[in-house]
Each structure stands twice: as C-alpha cells, then as structure tokens.
Amino acid sequence: MLQGAPVENRAQAAAGKQAAAVNNPGGARGTPKAAECLNTDYSELYYAREEGNTISKLFKDAKLPGGDPQLFIGGEATEARLKKEQNPKVLHLATHAYYLDPSGPSMTFNTDENQNEKEKYRFLRSGLIMNEFGKNNLGQDGIVTALEIALLNLSGTDLVTLSACDSGVGETTPGDNLAGMRTAFHIAGAKAVISSLWSVDDSRGEQIMKQFYQDLLQGKTAGDALRDAKRSVLDSEGHRHPFYWAPFVLEGKDEAVFPHDQQRTKVSNASGK
C-alpha cells in the first residue's frame, strides 16, 4: 500500500493484493484542534525509498498469488491513494506520523469543557502525514487521522505495518481501548498491526523491516519474524540500546501470513511436479 507526506516520510509497501508505497513529508495544515499543532518542518527520511523498494522486491521474488506488489513513492504516496485501497493482504506504510498529547499546552481545553467534550477529539490526535501535507491541494490536506483510518476498508487485510515514529502511541481512557492508530486500523478490519512506541532510527528501521519481511515470506509468524528482526539489530555493534531495536510492537492475531506449506504447494504446482 502506500503513504505520503509533503517533504519526507519513511516508506510503505503492501502485499496480498500486493501493494507497496514509499513517502516523503513536509508542510502543515489539517484537522480541527490538530493542524495548528503539527510540526511543519519534517526532516527527510533517507531510507524510506530504499525500504519501499527492498520490500517490494522481496514480494516480487516470492512470486505470491495475486500479482506483484504495488509501490507508491513520493508524490504517488497520497492521502487519496491510501483511501482508495481495498483489502490488501499486507499494507506497509513508511512515513511520518504524529501524536498530540492532550495534556500539552497546544491541546489545552477550556476550563468549562467536560470530559465528554474532550473525548470527541481522541481519534484526531494521532495520524499519518501524506504527500499533500503543506500543499494547497483541494479536498485533501495530507493528514490522515486515526478517525479517517477507522473508516478504511481493511476487512481482508492480515497485516498492517506502520513503519513510522510514534505510530503506536495513543490516549488511554479507563475502561476503554487505546485511542490511536493501532485501534483505528483494527476497527477498519486489520487482523494484526505493527506500530512503534517511540521515534524510529531511520537506518535501523529499514534494517528491521527488511529482515522482518524476509522471515515473514519464509513462513514465520508475524510475532516470530518481528522478534528475530529486532534481534538482528540488538546483535549489531553500536545499536544495542533498546531505542534502536525495541520500538516496534505487534498487536492482534499472531499467525503466519504466508504459511510455508502454501508457498511450497504453489511452487510445486507452477513447476508441474
């Protein structure tokens, strides 16, 4: 699948209906109570393009049913493009994300506003930055809020990977689920979501994602593939601090998205043996 923002982003790729995308964000403007608070100077994610191309090639080489993955880079990784996606088997999004802390000064509510009023904005405080961000595009501001994500059609999607900083952060309410992108993608129908709990080092993020998809396509479960991908960074010199290897977490159904026995049957049938 895809994702994008105006100046720089990480990368995105999806497969199963096979789609993949890469992005670059920048700019500012958007949702009520949020746009005026967003960073307007997003730095370029140099490894985003490489990440998208690498993941796309892995899926192509696997020769999975459903055709080659779709890869959207830079100007193609738009809010409009994302909202057109219908049930990709795997949706990989690499871009900038945002989370606005409701206790921060820019999100302070008037003293006469009660908790119920505050609750209305829970799914607007987090989201993704797409290519239109900061540009004068009619109809699209390049900000895909968690509320908009929840309205996507992902009922046939086995896995969504959010290769973006703070993509797993959200607001908690006693007796309720975390209000953020993780929950929004589940509401949209995704069976499993991988997201990050803090900022992601661009280079190490690309390393984790490459190893993760290599293992996933070999038939490992998403949980095992993610664990081993994080270990590959942990075992590398100079990157043993949890900041580099531990930001990504899996939530939802932990299963083999591409079971090895199914792939073996496919290859056998293709060879006539």
Residue 71: closest CA among 13, 115, 154: 13
67 C-beta neighbours (distance < 10 Å), count: 13
Q: pLDDT for 196-246, tens place per residue?
A: 999 888 888 999 999 999 999 999 999 999 999 999 999 988 888 999 999
pLDDT for res 132: 74
Residue 186 has pLDDT above 90, yes or no: yes
Residues 6+ apart with CB under 8 A from 66: 15, 16, 17, 18, 89
Q: What is the pLDDT of residues 87-116, one digit of tens each?
A: 999 999 998 888 887 765 444 444 445 545
Cβ atoms < 10 Å from Cβ of 66: 13
- The more confidently predicted of residues 148 and 271 is 148
Range with top average pLDDT, 6-10, 131-135, 189-193: 189-193
pLDDT in the model for residue 9: 38
Report phi then psi at 12, rounded to 5: -145, 150
Q: For 151-165, what is each residue's pLDDT tens digit?
A: 999 999 999 999 988
Q: How far apart are CA 255 and CA 236, in angstroms?
A: 27
Task: Write the CA distances from 132 to 41, 85, 104, 106, 140, integer angstroms.
Answer: 14, 17, 26, 23, 7
Please state which of the ranges 32-46, 201-215, 238-252, 258-272 shows the lowest mean pLDDT. Answer: 258-272
Per the prediction, the chain carries an average pLDDT of: 76
* The two structure tokens encoding residue 202: 């661009």
Q: Please report where in the chains the tokens 């075992």 appear, as a residue.
A: 235
Contact 189, 157 (CB under 8 A): yes
